[in-house]
Chain A
Amino acid sequence: MSTFVAILTRDLRFNAARMALPVAFFLLVATLYPFAVGPDAALLGRTGAGIAWVAALLAALLPVERLIAPDAAAGMLDQYAVRGISEELAAAAKLLAHWLAFAPALMLACVPAAALLALDGRALLQLELGLLLGTPGLAALGLMTAALTASERGGAALTGLVMLPLAVPLLIFGAGGGLKLLAATSLLLVAIAPFAAGAAIRAARS
């Protein structure tokens, strides 16, 4: 358990230091969208939540490249392995650290974004609830993708191609308001992510 906390603390510190960029990216998209479609509040209010979800998805992509690859290259993951720390435990700690650094910041950024996208209070609440349920699934997808692409050159471009299609269910249920299905999808992804990522880390060694 203390190993889990140690890995979590280290990763959280590094992830939190890198979180400004994705959040700024998310806010930038929310700022640009009204310029592109015009200031029509009714149109913005109708489409704003969907744009917020797409922006959240793209912002979730940005930190993925740095989740696993630097630790694999620096030999940290091998050092965990020789200590008998399972890849699954390390991956689970990384998943939680990624979500903690990413989701609260994004949900906070949704408040100014809602103003920019002319979302009313009810729509904002719906969006925040959706992100609360959906971001664990996004983080899990990000971790699995990071583990799969860690040893590949050109991982950054590959990351989007692997992760975005898999995020379609989260996007549909999240933006469409199917919160129970969203929660179920998220739960499933979180449940399999440490095992899938752990297997990918092991496979990259041989």
Chain B
Amino acid sequence: MTPRLTFDSVTGVRGGRTLFEGVSFDLAPGDALHVSGANGAGKSSLLRIAAGLLKPKAGAVTAQGQVALADERIALDLELPLGKALGYWASIDAGELSFALAGTGLTELAQVPVRMLSTGQRKRAALARMKASHGHIWLLDEPANGLDADGVTMLEGVIARQRARGGIVVVATHQPLDMPEAQRLAL
């Protein structure tokens, strides 16, 4: 299946307040979208609508292919060692744990409980979960938060590889991120 993510004049509403109206874009394999906007502009809501977790107030959303989401919540068991916590999702997604950890700088931390990880390490762990998921459409919410310079470079590399593999990446962030030829959307 060819992954594709299309928004057709989508209106997003949160708690009765209209966040954005008439948002349209069309992402084909290899495409990326950089969603920017002030705090509370609706970046996270846009990702949740793309993930199918939130219904758009108006407009149509079409997502072809397996979606993978990394939002502000880590979705890993805090008490478990990182390797086991990631292994849970790898087992559900039939993914490879070693592949997920490779290149994220986490290989030595596999035995460390998730609750002991720093903010940046948790962001890396969420990225490892995305890598293991075999998702075609990646939805990343502030993936660079708490990452050091090396981490941001690593993130840009992982995003580039996902695009090169024919995946789609949507990044919602207020930070600059090097994504060549990415479409831009300002909310």
A residues near B (Cβ < 8 Å) are: 2-3, 6, 10, 14, 73-76, 78-79, 81-85, 205-206
A205 lies within 8 A of B54 (CB): yes
For the complex formed, measure the closest distance between the CB of A179 and the CB atoms of chain B, giving whole angstroms. Answer: 39
B88 lies within 8 A of A79 (CB): no
- Taking a contact as CB atoms closer than 8 A, the residue among A73, A75, A206 that contacts B71 in the complex is A75
Contacts of A2 in B (CB 8 A): 91
Contacts of B71 in A (CB 8 A): 75, 78
For the complex formed, measure the closest distance between the CB of A197 and the CB atoms of chain B, giving whole angstroms. Answer: 17
CA gap between A3 and B94 in the complex, in Å: 10
- Taking a contact as CB atoms closer than 8 A, the residue among A10, A14, A78 that contacts B69 in the complex is A78
Count of CB-CB pairs between chains A and B under 8 Å: 47
Known: A6-B92, A206-B55. A74 touches B69 (CB 8 A): no
Q: Which residues B75-99 have CB closer than 8 A to chain A? A: 75-78, 88-89, 91-93
A75 lies within 8 A of B53 (CB): no
- Taking a contact as CB atoms closer than 8 A, the residue among A10, A73, A83 that contacts B88 in the complex is A10
B91 lies within 8 A of A79 (CB): no
CA gap between A42 and B68 in the complex, in Å: 63
Q: Size band of the B side of the interface? A: 20 to 34
CA gap between A84 and B67 in the complex, in Å: 9
For the complex formed, measure the closest distance between the CB of B139 and the CB atoms of chain A, giving whole angstroms. Answer: 8
A78 lies within 8 A of B92 (CB): no
Nearest A residue to B126 by beta-carbon distance? A75
Contacts of A76 in B (CB 8 A): 75
A83 lies within 8 A of B93 (CB): yes
Contacts of B69 in A (CB 8 A): 78-79, 82
CA gap between A82 and B147 in the complex, in Å: 25
Nearest A residue to B63 by beta-carbon distance? A82
Known: A6-B92, A10-B88. A82 touches B53 (CB 8 A): yes
B68 lies within 8 A of A82 (CB): yes
Contacts of A81 in B (CB 8 A): 51-53
Known: A74-B78, A75-B75. 8 other contacts (CB 8 A): A6-B92, A73-B73, A79-B69, A81-B52, A83-B92, A83-B93, A85-B92, A205-B54
Known: A10-B88, A73-B73. A78 touches B93 (CB 8 A): no
Contacts of A83 in B (CB 8 A): 66, 92-93, 133
A79 lies within 8 A of B89 (CB): yes
Query: For A74, A76, A82, which residue has the most chain B Cβ atoms within 10 angstroms?
Result: A82
Q: Which residues B15-44 have CB closer than 8 A to chain A? A: none
A6 lies within 8 A of B52 (CB): no
B88 lies within 8 A of A82 (CB): no
CA gap between A6 and B75 in the complex, in Å: 15
For the complex formed, measure the closest distance between the CB of B135 and the CB atoms of chain A, giving whole angstroms. Answer: 8
